[in-house]
Structure 1
Amino acid sequence: MPPTNPDRPPAAPTTALGLALAAASRGLAVIPLSRTKLPAVRSPHRDEPRSARRCRGECGRIGHGVHDATTDPEMIRELFAAAPWATGYGIACGRLPHCLVGLDLDVKNDQDGPAALQFLADTHGFPLPPAPTVLTPSGGRHLWLTAPAGTAVPNSVGRLAPGIDVRGTGGYLVGPGSRTTAGTYFFAPGTPRLPAPAVPPTLLDLMQPAAARSASPKGASGKQAVGLVRFVLDAIPGGKNGTGRNDRLFWAACRAYETADRDADGIAAALIEAAVHTGLPEPEARATVASAARNARRSPV
């Protein structure tokens, strides 16, 4: 059983399903997790060709990891029934209404995530608001913050600083009360609960790919460049109605080459980096941008 938390009501659930249902009642989309912290429901495509494994739930079956995350109690029970071995639950980040962003602060392998975050705050001059905090079995912690609705926050490992991982759009956090092979996750006593505070704007900017922050075109505004990068970051793998990663990258690169003049190559580099963050292989991203450049040169000015 999870450690006693003095802030938790006496009747709080203790099973993974009960904890997941309680989280869903607060607007958090959840999935069952195994003791290894991985999604517990097995993929329906595990015996199919690799191309079929790119499905993100469009097939209508369960077993697509964080793409199964839901707040619907019936669906949650179905997910846990399909994985009775689940001992925990994951909370999807970037979902309405909370649009959670998780900061995973590690304190292992000579890393000190909390100290690194404080150093970032001191160096860049932003405050660290009190936030819901989940303590991890390894001695680290997860801070729960929120991003503005519609803002894509890329997942990253150590890019902000050693010991700091970001759980953003398409990522998930291990929910408090979950039991894993390493131990149990639980809320730090005395920390605030939902609603979580907003990510400080400076920190939110630091979470974006470096090229997106540095692009400053002359023909197009810096705001437009950032908008193009975020458009690429919002891509859905596989896509629907022509809005997949390649389609979005091609469109954004065309706009850059049509409007940014000599700075287009700088924006294109930012777009390639953003596409790679969505999972598109870098050679494919570079080929798409090169095609957009050729297309823009053929277009009448």
Structure 2
Amino acid sequence: MPRPDHIRALHAALLTAARGLPVIPLSRTKLPAVRSPHRDEPRLTACRGECGRPGHGVHDATTDPDRIRALFAVAPWATGYGVACGRAPYHLVGVDLDVKHGFDGVAALHSLARTQGFALPQTVTVLTPSGGRHLWFSAPGPVPNSVGRLGRGIDVRGLGGYVVGPGSRTLAGRYLLAPGSDGHPLAAAPAQLLKLAAPPPPPPPAPGAGAPRHPAEKRAAALVRFVLDSREGERNGRLFWAACRAYDAGMGDALAPALVTAAVHTGLSEREAAATVASAGRLRSSAEP
């Protein structure tokens, strides 16, 4: 028999989906609750639900009540739900404000609004167990995920990401709507906030007209392009491969900033991209005689 937390999460997920926001069930760890149908396959797959089976994380997100009930039915351990960001028509943007580890994301966002000259409209606000909050905004188009780009304690959940919905219970505690927030419409994100949240431009082409002439320049440009051409689900793998090749060629440290910028342009956070490149550097260093 489903537990009360499971039933409450399903009910809250259905209410959120009724507002036009696609949802998926989450476990107490805040991870997608439906297990991947490919978990026992010998090789990783780039399937994003094309196989027709559930278990593809945020790609399962839906507003269809019957499909939501079916997803929760195959994951009776689910005690929460995630709300997919970046999907039309609202292109939900979740601004995650942390108040832990010595910084205050709420204060940082208000300070950013003052210094950059924009107002924060009233919108759907979710209180997190740690004392932080999530602000939900709509956007004219998809916004990439980022960690700390707007300031310490401010993360952005965009296309390919999700926010934990109110009514969820996790290992840390409950996520709840802020008092009075239920009556607020989903406000449009301030244009200046979206501008600040945008990724940096892709790396400029190598100096000189046309394609790079030196073989090393050609190799560097090809590795950057390889990362820029990444699709969701393969970005980290392609970045790690490109960084390993760069370090093998002796240009890892020089090319690392361009690889990180290219990865951010595809939707990875700066922190995640930098960590992946650094991991490739450590691997290649340990392999040296």
In the alignment, is the contact (CA less than 8 A) between 1:55 and 1:238 conserved in 2?
no
Q: What is the CA–CA distance in structure 1 between the aligned matches of 2:58 and 2:263, rounded to whole Å?
A: 25
Amino acid in structure 2 at the alignment position of 1:168: G
Amino acid in structure 2 at the alignment position of 1:47: D
Other-structure match for 1:58: 50
Q: What is the CA–CA distance in structure 2 between the aligned matches of 1:269 and 1:178, rounded to whole Å?
A: 34
Other-structure match for 2:59: 67
Displacement of 1:168 in angstroms is 0.4
Of 3, 16, 22, which residue of structure 1 is paired with 2:15?
Answer: 22
Q: What is the CA–CA distance in structure 2 between the aligned matches of 1:99 and 1:157, rounded to whole Å?
A: 18
Q: What is the CA–CA distance in structure 1 between the aligned matches of 2:174 and 2:85, rounded to whole Å?
A: 20
SS class of match (1:203): helix
SS class of match (2:102): coil
Instruction: Trace 1:254-293 onto structure 2 (pairs within 5 A).
Output: 271=262, 273-275=264-266, 277=268
1:127–1:74 CA distance, 2 compared to 1 (3 A): same
Q: What is the CA–CA distance in structure 2 between the aligned matches of 1:277 and 1:137, rounded to whole Å?
A: 26
Other-structure match for 1:109: 101
1:169–1:192 CA distance, 2 compared to 1 (3 A): same
SS class of match (2:55): coil
RMSD, matched Cα: 3.3
Amino acid in structure 2 at the alignment position of 1:206: L
Amino acid in structure 2 at the alignment position of 1:43: S
Other-structure match for 2:150: 160
Other-structure match for 1:171: 161
Other-structure match for 1:250: none
Q: Deviations over 1:161-188 (max 9, x none)?
A: 1101111001111110101111111101
Q: TM-score, normalized by length of structure 2? A: 0.70
Other-structure match for 1:92: 84
Q: What is the CA–CA distance in structure 2 between the aligned matches of 1:190 and 1:75, rounded to whole Å?
A: 30
2:107 is the alignment partner of 1:144: no
Displacement of 1:59 in angstroms is 1.4
SS class of match (1:102): strand
Other-structure match for 1:253: none
Other-structure match for 2:114: 122
In the alignment, is the contact (CA less than 8 A) between 1:43 and 1:64 conserved in 2?
yes
Task: List structure 1 runs of 4+ shifted beyond 2 angstroms.
Answer: 191-195, 210-215, 232-239, 267-273, 275-282
Moved more, 65-74 or 94-103: 94-103
Q: Deviations over 1:180-234 (max 9, x none)?
A: 111111101022545311111111011111336999xxx9xxxxxxxxxxxx699
Other-structure match for 2:244: none
Q: What is the CA–CA distance in structure 1 between the aligned matches of 2:39 and 2:112, rounded to whole Å?
A: 41
Aligned pair count reads 231
SS class of match (1:173): strand
In the alignment, is the contact (CA less than 8 A) between 2:203 and 2:262 conserved in 1?
no
SS class of match (1:122): helix
Other-structure match for 1:33: 26
Other-structure match for 2:225: none
1:233–1:179 CA distance, 2 compared to 1 (3 A): farther
Displacement of 1:50 in angstroms is 3.6
SS class of match (2:201): helix
Of 173, 197, 205, which residue of structure 2 is paired with 1:183?
Answer: 173
Q: What is the CA–CA distance in structure 1 between the aligned matches of 2:149 and 2:50, rounded to whole Å?
A: 31
Displacement of 1:51 in angstroms is 2.6
Of 54, 70, 76, which residue of structure 2 is paired with 1:78?
Answer: 70
1:270–1:38 CA distance, 2 compared to 1 (3 A): closer
In the alignment, is the contact (CA less than 8 A) between 1:57 and 1:68 conserved in 2?
yes
Q: What is the CA–CA distance in structure 1 between the aligned matches of 2:30 and 2:60, rounded to whole Å?
A: 15
Q: Deviations over 1:6-62 (max 9, x none)?
A: xxxxxxx9621111111111111010011111110001111113432x221121110
Amino acid in structure 2 at the alignment position of 1:277: L
Consecutive unaligned residues in structure 1, runs of 5 or more = 3-12, 220-231, 240-244, 247-266, 283-301
Displacement of 1:272 in angstroms is 5.4
1:72–1:46 CA distance, 2 compared to 1 (3 A): same
